[in-house]
């Protein structure tokens, strides 16, 4: 994977994880003290936060590589912003389908269900945006 697409993939993963964190944290805030789901959701937030930290470290390293490539004028240097670097629609669709299956298989009300549902929503939005962008291109 070239640097531009690696940056895009890392950024997309970070955004998805942040969306999931928000969704789970919002759900956790509605639960009463002593609800057993609080522990499960708190553990899930902790796990995702660790994943986000790893993603930010990867993104920082990739950004340094991309900057060096641009400054050196190499042929593999990124030519567009992360946002302008297209993510393959098939990759989005594949992840969306996986998230749908995961949501369907999760125990209703579980932290896994909350995470999968938030991921489904994020991927649905991303897929819609990718489709619209593809239709706008000449």
> 23-82 pLDDT, tens per residue?
899 999 999 999 999 999 999 999 999 999 999 999 999 999 999 999 999 988 999 999
In this prediction, residue 1 carries a pLDDT of 65
First to last CA, the chain: 26
* CATH fold group of domain 3-136: Ferritin (1.20.1260)
Q: Is the pTM of this model over 0.75?
A: yes
> 9-21 pLDDT, tens per residue?
999 999 989 988 9
Q: Where are the alpha helices (DSSP H) in 30-110?
A: 37-72, 89-105
Break the chain into its structural domains and give their ranges. Answer: 3-136
Distance CA 80, CA 2 (A): 13
Q: Which residue has the higher pLDDT, 49 or 112?
A: 49
* pLDDT over threshold 90, residue 99: yes
């Amino acid at each position: 994977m070239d640097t531009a697409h690696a940056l895009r993939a890392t950024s997309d993963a970070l955004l998805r994880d942040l969306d999931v964190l928000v969704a789970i944290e919002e759900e956790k805030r509605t639960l009463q003290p002593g609800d057993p789901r609080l522990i499960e959701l708190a553990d899930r937030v902790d796990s995702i936060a660790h994943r986000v930290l790893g993603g930010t470290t990867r993104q920082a390293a990739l950004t340094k590589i991309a900057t060096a490539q641009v400054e050196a004028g190499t042929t593999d240097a990124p030519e567009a912003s992360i946002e302008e670097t297209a993510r393959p629609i098939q990759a989005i669709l594949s992840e969306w389908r996986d998230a749908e299956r995961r949501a369907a298989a999760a125990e209703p009300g579980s932290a896994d269900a909350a995470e999968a549902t938030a991921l489904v929503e994020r991927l649905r939005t991303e897929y819609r945006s990718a489709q619209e962008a593809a239709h706008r291109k000449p």
